[in-house]
């Protein structure tokens, strides 16, 4: 057994059975070993940002890390933007990055770069394996970190000689201590706030947005009259008819401040207090009302479910009944594409238990609240703000849940960052319907220029926020990568296209022209 | 005047008049300022790897830096792979990276990341501007580094408050000292080697591959009987009929060792001694013959032209006549696509003084030597090894030289990394003909698995080196981004397609199916 074989045997033994890969020459021994690793599914991507985004989507749906296989510093670099998004979402990922053999590094060959420096910027755990004899235990440690309750981006650098040298065999992943004890002082403080009669908001993040946690939160709301909210972007929300709904704290600073204005207490669970996404002249970074108190009940990566259950008990709400969302009446969508008509299309067309990856940005911002009563589904959002997020994440979510349908909504500007995802969806026959809202511009920037007080943009600046020349033909792009597509411009046609897309298996694309 | 305006005025004043941009919210004041910066051309790209690659191509053709405008850590990260390639090629680039306002950073907003850590991995010079009052002098310093004889990747981080705060005005770029003195000991040593009668090789890199330098090198060859070679990949070579040709040292280890075997002396000019691109079990990293002596006449970034002229004089070759390449006879290309037929197509079809960006990898490896007698042209190659290189670099080279035709050859696997370049080519009406050699696989990996001694790859591994399922339709992709395309499968059709493509203005794509 060589080092690469011991690494793969360790991965498979620890349940890391999916690897999104962009291999190169330095990964040849890893490649040669995959056929001796039964149970390992390798998925080829055409660009590393697809691989890392897919691993993020995979984690969000399984709570288990997938691996990526990347090619030296530049390969890691191409994956970094979506690693940033994954890190912000608390997703665990095992990156295996091939590198030159140790003795070769000193000669500064063309692909040599500061790989360790790059890896450190986004990984919680980084290690360069020294020898083939111990690479199995190195990867076991990496997997333990990526699988921990507070999951890590764990990056293992695999030099050529470590891959091809001899190994004594696989290793087992060491258990890591679980730090999810409930902080009783925080619990007291949160309970006192809720029982004080002063207006309070539960701010939920992470796994506290799964249905079981939301049910506890909903009982607390029913009992105490507090409200509950999610950050504008969350890793995964279980929502829809029959579930407890959670409001979103608005994205823009002024509406967010207005939303939070009335609350004396913010009780944070698996998230931190709301902060502005960007900094603006003369606008604050922290969005809570002056004098409002933050009760950090459970830090990100903690056990929000246990914290909510304990809080529920502490405020005497265990027997309360959470309000669940009724099924939205089906409305026939007609006419122009608007937040309401998009919501009508989604409420009518989202398949039960689908996964909705929502990076619709400008178009979808107001749609979210209008789909609370759609069929039960999971919504996945971009917590890191690096666009080019949803096509890869949808790819990984579909790999993780082959029995569920995935609907991925994205803006045209965003989609072009990682459009190569479509090819992997076609290759693997993934059941993903990609919806491109094509407004032919980075509309968010036109809005933000005003928020920034940067004044009206002149013609040269507007050129930099506009992608209408030439118009991108997403149906042609999809065809080029083996995905059937359709262009629509009305709500009726959008509804029909979505119905048709989810009725059949396999990837599809709908370009919604605005 | 605000900080952003002072930054742009400084850029334009220093001659940095082209900016490849992917702006975001944090760059709004930069955007608002571009309409007040006459003489600045901003070019929108759909992905940051296009912006950085374009800046690389721009530098290679002008020896002057272009700017990029990038959006926080993830935007920089997306540009890193092509910054790696640019760094390896010795290209100077000014990166301006927007960031959160200084006071906002502490709140760890979603797009916050270790931007400075990322920037340090690939930049020679990095600075985060502290205040709008001094950002003009910061960017002036950055430009001085990017424009130095040994050009820097210079990265200036521009926090929001530095962009929108007040500024006293533009600054001038400080002159940097020029370290291109000739090392007389090295000159003596090189001259002695050349006059010793022992076999010697001039190894040329950087600007020593421009025609004027090659002419001096050719005279030294004529006088002393030495040979001259370039590394397998070079930043830019002026070549073709009527110029002095230079051989390439082979890419693969065994042929490279065979090539170098007979040389007792390697005289390096603007490059270092040849090293293996990758590390392989039981193969050396250094490729020169045992006992061969390396004479480092001029380091990378030095003045190779002056060194070659001095060496020419020292060995008494100033009056010698360099052998120049005769014009290759036009051969009608027929039949299958082979290295010879591709060369025939290029020799017949490359327009005079075109720029040939060559990332043809497997297909083109043997073609290069066969196009030495094509019409005079510049060849640009990928020195960093990170694929996804040629479409952006061709874009930047075409922006730099609006009066020249650009032909960009790339493999299908490589093209998919940065295919978004086509859109910018269409938007700017750039005269780029993109040739995709579509062999439907990462063929280089199949070859390399054997070189690696990794054995025959099994079916799962072969899936990871093959991109034939689904077949990518590059003509459809090009159409989707506004570029007319044509698919060909024979040398005759390729020749006709290239003729037609270069006869008309504007971007075109030819998919050559192998």
Q: How far apart are CA A43 and CA A290, in angstroms?
A: 50
Query: What integer pLDDT is reported at residue B57 of this predicted model?
Result: 98
- The CATH number that applies at residue A245 is 3.40.50.1220
Q: Which residues of chain B have pLDDT under 50?
A: none
Which of B169-182 are b and which e, b meaning 16 or more Cβ less than 10 Å from the residue's Cβ? ebbebeeeeeebeb
Residues of chain A above pLDDT 70, percent: 99
Shortest alpha-carbon distance between residue B163 and chain A (Å): 10
Query: Which of A164, A196, A219 delimits the end of a domain?
Result: A164
Same domain flag for A190 and A158: no
Contact B423 A416 (CB under 8 A): yes
Alpha-carbon span A10 to A307, nearest angstrom: 34
Distance from CA of A133 to the nearest CA of B (A): 16
Q: Which of A:221-250 have CB within 8 Å of B? A: 233
**Cβ–Cβ < 8 Å for A55, A67:** yes
Does pLDDT of A73 surpass 90?
yes
The answer to pTM > 0.95 is yes
B334 belongs to a structural domain: no
pLDDT of residue A179: 64
- Domain check: are B36 and B81 in the same one? yes
Asked if A42 is an interface residue toward chain B (Cβ–Cβ < 8 A), one would say: yes
Residues A360 and A468 in one domain: yes
In this complex, which of A44, A101, A451 lies closest to B464 when CB atoms are compared?
Answer: A44
Q: What is the CATH number of the domain that holds A484?
A: 3.40.50.970
Please check whether residue B319 lies inside any domain of the structure. Answer: no
Say whether residue B275 is in contact with chain A using an 8 A CB cutoff: yes
> Which domain covers residue B101, as residue numbers?
3-164
Question: SS3 for A20?
Answer: strand
Cα(A409)–Cα(A412) distance, integer angstroms: 10
CA–CA separation, B188 and B121 (whole Å): 37
B279–chain A Cβ distance below 8 A for any pair: yes
Q: Which two tokens stand for residue A2?
A: 């060589």
Q: Is A347 a member of any domain?
A: yes
Per-residue model confidence (pLDDT) at position A180: 65
Per-residue pLDDT at B179: 63
How is residue A351 annotated by DSSP?
Answer: P
Q: How many CB atoms lie within 10 A of CB B326?
A: 11
Q: Report phi then psi at B314, rounded to 5.
A: -60, -35
Residues of A in contact with B88 (CB under 8 A): 110
Q: Dig out the tokens for B56 from the structure.
A: 């690389």
Residues A386, B22: Cα–Cα separation, whole Å: 12
Interchain contact B20–A (C-beta under 8 A): no
Does a structural domain hold residue A38? yes
Q: Do B74 and A88 touch (CB under 8 A)?
A: no
C-alpha–C-alpha distance, residues A396 and B20, integer Å: 31
Q: Which of A385, A456, A471 has the most B C-beta neighbours within 10 Å, making it the best mutation to test the interface with B? A: A385
Q: In sequence order, which ranges of B177-227 are alpha helices (DSSP H)?
A: 184-195, 211-224
Same domain, B88 and B120: yes
How many angstroms separate the Cα of B446 from the Cα of each of A12, A288, A311, B449, B454?
Answer: 25, 58, 59, 5, 10
Residue A480: in which H helix or E strand, if any?
helix A474-480
Q: Is A20 on the interface with B (CB under 8 A)?
A: no
Please indicate whether, in this complex, the C-beta atoms of B463 and A44 are within 8 angstroms of each other: yes
Sheet of strand B406-411: strand arrangement: B237-239, B377-381, B354-359, B406-411, B432-438, B508-513, B485-488
Give the mean pLDDT of A78-89.
Answer: 98
Strand ranges for A346-484 from DSSP E: 354-359, 377-381, 406-411, 432-438
Preceding peptide of A129 cis, ω within 30°: no
Inter-residue contact B437 to B488 (CB < 8 Å): no
Q: Tell me if residue B83 falls in helix, strand or coil.
A: helix
Do A352 and A265 lie in one domain? The reply is: no
Binding-face residues of A in 321-360 toward B, CB within 8 A: none
Q: What is the pLDDT of residues A153-208, one digit of tens each?
A: 999 999 999 999 999 999 997 877 766 678 999 999 999 999 999 999 999 999 99
User: In this complex, is the C-beta atom of A77 within 8 Å of any C-beta atom belonging to chain B?
Assistant: yes
Structure tokens at A34: 């995959």
Option in A88, A272, A449 nearest B31 (CB): A449
∠ Cα A398 A403 A407 (to 5°): 45
A211 touches chain B (CB under 8 A): no
Beta carbons within 10 angstroms of residue A183's beta carbon: 16
In a domain, B176, yes or no: no
Contacts of B286 in chain A (CB under 8 A): 107
Report whether pLDDT(A381) > 80. Answer: yes
Read off the pLDDT of each residue in A386-414 and give the average, rounded to a whole number: 97
Interface of B with A in 450-509 (CB under 8 A): 451-455, 457-461, 463-467, 469-477, 479-482
Indicate the pLDDT class of residue A277, thresholds 50, 70 and 90.
very high
B417 belongs to a structural domain? yes
Minimal Cβ distance to B455: which of A32, A455, A482: A32
Are residues A344 and A480 part of one domain?
yes
Q: A350 and A216 share a domain?
A: no
Peptide bond into A496 cis (omega under 30): no
Residue A27 corresponds to which tokens in the numbers above?
């990964």
Grouping H, G, I as helix, E, B as strand and the rest as coil, residue A406 is strand
Rounded to whole angstroms, the Cα distance separating B84 from B103 reads 31
Q: Give yes or no for residue A267 having a pLDDT over 70.
A: yes
- Predicted local confidence at residue A173, as pLDDT: 79
CB pairs under 8 A between A and B: 332
Higher pLDDT, B125 or A330: B125
- Report CB contact under 8 Å: B276, A104: yes
Domain count of the fold of chain A: 3
The domain boundary, picked from B297, B314, B331, lies at B314
pLDDT tens, position by position, A298-328: 999 999 999 999 999 999 999 999 999 999 9
Chain A interface includes B21 (CB < 8 A): yes
- DSSP letters along B2-25, please? BHHHHHHHHHHHTT--EEEE---G
- Chain A nearest C-alpha distance from B464 (Å): 6
Rounded to the nearest 5°, which phi and psi values hold at B157?
Answer: -90, 130
**Nearest C-alpha neighbor of B95 from the set B83, B112, B111:** B83
Cβ–Cβ contact A25 with B under 8 A = yes
CB–CB contact A449 B103 (8 Å) = no
- Judged by CB atoms closer than 8 Å, whether chains meet at A122 and B113 is answered as yes
A103 touches chain B (CB under 8 A): yes
Same domain, B235 and B372: no
Looking at the structure, tell me whether residues A96 and A16 fall in a common domain: yes
Neighbours of B243 (CB within 10 A): 21
pLDDT at A455: 79
**B284 and B393 in one domain?**
no
Indicate yes or no: CB of B481 within 8 angstroms of CB of A472: yes
**Among the listed residues B401, B423, B400, B436, the one whose alpha carbon sits nearest the alpha carbon of residue B480:** B423
> Which residue of chain B comes nearest to A283, CA vs CA?
B104
d(CA A441, CA A457): 14
Considering the domain architecture, whether residues A84 and A137 belong to the same structural domain is answered as yes
Residue B326, in any domain of the structure: no
In a domain, A178, yes or no: no
Q: CB of A410 within 8 A of CB of A359?
A: yes
**Which of A12, A28, A163, A274 is the best mutation test for B, with the most CBs of B within 10 A?**
A28
Length of chain B measured in residues: 514
Residues A365 and A422 in one domain: yes
Please indicate if any CB of chain B lies within 8 Å of the CB of A1.
no
pLDDT, residue A354, reads: 98
From the CA of A209, how many Å to the nearest CA of chain B? 18
Question: Among residues 392-411 of chain A, which lie with CB inside 8 Å of chain B?
Answer: none
CB-based contacts of B477-480 (< 8 A; 24+ apart in sequence):
B477/A476, B477/A477, B477/A480, B477/A481, B477/B419, B477/B422, B478/B422, B478/B434, B478/B509, B479/A473, B479/A476, B480/A472, B480/A473, B480/A474, B480/A475, B480/A476, B480/A477, B480/A479, B480/A480
């Amino acid at each position: 057994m060589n080092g690469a074989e011991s690494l793969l045997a360790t991965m498979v033994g620890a349940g890391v059975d999916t690897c999104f890969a962009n291999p190169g020459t330095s990964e040849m021994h890893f490649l040669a070993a995959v056929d001796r690793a039964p149970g390992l599914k390798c998925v080829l991507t055409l660009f590393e940002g697809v691989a890392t985004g897919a691993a993020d989507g995979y984690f969000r749906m399984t709570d288990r890390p997938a691996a990526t296989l990347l090619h030296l510093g530049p390969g890691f670099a191409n994956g970094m933007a979506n690693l940033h998004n994954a890190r912000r979402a608390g997703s665990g990922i095992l990156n295996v990055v091939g590198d030159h053999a140790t003795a070769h590094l000193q000669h500064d060959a063309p692909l040599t770069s500061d790989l360790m420096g790059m890896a450190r910027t986004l990984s919680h755990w980084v290690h360069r394996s020294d020898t083939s004899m111990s690479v199995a235990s190195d990867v076991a440690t990496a997997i333990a970190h990526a699988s921990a309750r507070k999951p890590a981006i764990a990056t293992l650098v695999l030099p050529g000689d470590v891959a091809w040298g001899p190994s004594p065999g696989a290793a087992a992943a060491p258990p890591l201590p679980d730090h999810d004890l409930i902080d009783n002082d925080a619990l007291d403080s949160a309970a006192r706030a809720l029982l004080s009669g002063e207006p309070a908001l539960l701010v939920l993040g992470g796994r506290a947005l799964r249905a079981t946690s939301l049910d506890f939160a909903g009982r607390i709301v029913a009992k105490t009259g507090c409200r509950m909210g999610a950050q504008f972007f969350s890793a995964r929300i279980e929502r829809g008819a029959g579930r407890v709904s959670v409001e979103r704290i608005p994205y823009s600073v002024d509406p967010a401040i207005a939303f939070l204005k009335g609350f004396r207490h913010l009780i944070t669970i698996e998230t931190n207090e709301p902060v502005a996404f960007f900094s603006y002249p003369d606008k604050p970074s922290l969005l809570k009302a002056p004098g409002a108190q933050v009760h950090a009940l459970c830090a990100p990566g903690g056990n929000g479910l246990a914290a909510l259950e304990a809080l529920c008990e502490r405020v005497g709400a265990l027997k309360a009944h959470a309000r669940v969302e009724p099924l939205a009446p089906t409305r026939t969508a007609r006419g122009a594409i608007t937040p309401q008509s998009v919501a009508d299309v989604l409420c009518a067309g989202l398949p039960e238990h689908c996964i909705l990856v929502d990076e619709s940005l400008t178009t979808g911002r107001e749609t979210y609240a209008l789909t609370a009563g759609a069929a039960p589904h999971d919504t996945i959002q971009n917590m890191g703000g690096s666009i080019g997020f949803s096509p890869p994440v949808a790819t990984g979510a579909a790999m993780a849940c082959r029995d569920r349908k995935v609907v991925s909504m994205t803006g045209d500007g965003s989609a072009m960052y990682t459009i190569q995802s479509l090819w992997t969806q076609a290759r693997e026959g993934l059941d993903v319907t990609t919806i491109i809202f094509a407004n032919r511009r980075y509309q968010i920037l036109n809005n933000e220029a005003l928020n920034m007080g940067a004044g009206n943009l002149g013609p040269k600046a507007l050129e930099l926020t506009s992608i209408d020349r030439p118009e991108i033909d997403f149906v042609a792009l999809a065809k080029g990568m083996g995905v059937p597509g359709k262009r629509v411009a009305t709500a009726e046609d959008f509804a029909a296209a979505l119905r048709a897309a989810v009725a059949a298996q396999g990837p599809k694309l709908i370009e919604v022209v605005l």
